[in-house]
Structure 1
């Protein structure tokens, strides 16, 4: 189901997208470096296995610094849209072939036999448009991540779900829909917010 089924979400989305796009390039570069340090320092950050990020578009905070800094035992993956409405994931290294999906976002150019199910990923860094103080996430409205990780609404990690954002993307509260999958944590350049696994905020 689309997140746009919730009244009022689109107006919040449009406002937050404008804020995100307006962040100056120098702040983006510095923010990506700081974000990488916070992601790598998370108590839940795996030291081995498959980890997934995203290809930053439309003003999203970049993950290249995090990818470069991952422990040697981790295998970096990007999401791939699947016809069943759920994401799959494929390993990717800089320079490996990419193809644009239906939204024009690059995906690894691999065969179906190389795709990983969401359950196979140890930690997923999730893009977002907005987030609140209890871990609710506002995405672009397509519901891809909520459908793909619906099993985490009632089941334990892995995968750990970690949102990535600029600090300007935090709002006081978001109306949660029944299909929303809350984040375990959200990292920004200035803060690491922990929700499910520990009840605290790091400075």
Structure 2
């Protein structure tokens, strides 16, 4: 089952919700974004399962997404920060990246590390994956952009616990109390925002 099989009315509702939430986050001021990113970093570092070593995956903020650079810069030295790379099989791999390393735009214009395919890591190799999202629900549902990249890449987490731990990063205004899960969705372990940590493993 995939997003293309949605009933037309349901698919239209989700498209409208995406547009509304994207407009909301893009409307935030630059000062609000900077402050939110700093507070988000605190919450990500304070997660009870935050790794002290190993590979951790973030993303390059795009389209108003909350920025992860403050978190990246404060990670333990024993953690290796990675960015996602789009694969021809419509799955994500991950590439170690530091701020002075080269980047190239992918098919959506989002920067990716410029490294050989042979050097890429699979999602299962990550200790923690921080996911971008458009909206999130009260029990760990994630509304993405609709391409299914993360759900395909992380489907192995449906029937096993972390690691990798899966954490959404968002502004609190992206919370949707009535968001329904889809059959293909991979639930999140937690969502961190500038003002709250929603730990779905414990229902808080």
TM-based fold match above 0.5: yes
Distance 1:27 1:187 in 2: 16
Distance 1:67 1:30 in 2: 15
Gaps of 5+ in 1: none
Distance 1:113 1:168 in 2: 39
**Equivalences for 1:121-200 in 2 at 5 Å?**
121-196=126-201, 198-200=202-204
Closer/same/farther in 2, CA of residues 4 and 43 from structure 1, 3 Å limit: farther
Distance 2:5 2:191 in 1: 24
| Structure 2 partner of 1:29 | 34
Partner of 1:126: helix, strand, or coil? Answer: strand
Closer/same/farther in 2, CA of residues 155 and 168 from structure 1, 3 Å limit: same
Distance 2:18 2:92 in 1: 22
Distance 2:67 2:152 in 1: 24
Closer/same/farther in 2, CA of residues 19 and 121 from structure 1, 3 Å limit: same
Q: Quick one: which of 117, 123, 148 aligns to 2:122?
A: 117
The alpha-carbon deviation at position 199 of structure 1 amounts to 3.0
Gaps of 5+ in 2: none
Distance 2:197 2:123 in 1: 24
Q: Tell me the matched-pair count.
A: 199
What do you get for the CA RMSD once the two structures are aligned?
Answer: 1.1
Which string of whole-angstrom CA distances, capped at 9 and with x for unpartnered residues, describes residues 96-147 of structure 1? 0100000000000000111001100000000000001111010011000000
Distance 1:83 1:181 in 2: 21
**Equivalences for 1:43-122 in 2 at 5 Å?**
43-122=48-127
The alpha-carbon deviation at position 3 of structure 1 amounts to 3.9
Give the 4+ runs in structure 1 shifted more than 6 A: none
Distance 1:173 1:63 in 2: 27
Q: Quick one: which of 13, 21, 40 aligns to 1:16?
A: 21
The alpha-carbon deviation at position 2 of structure 1 amounts to 5.2
Partner of 2:194: helix, strand, or coil? Answer: coil
Partner of 2:129: helix, strand, or coil? Answer: strand
Distance 2:140 2:35 in 1: 24
Distance 2:44 2:194 in 1: 10
Partner of 2:66: helix, strand, or coil? Answer: coil
Partner of 1:36: helix, strand, or coil? Answer: helix
TM-score by length of structure 2 reads 0.95
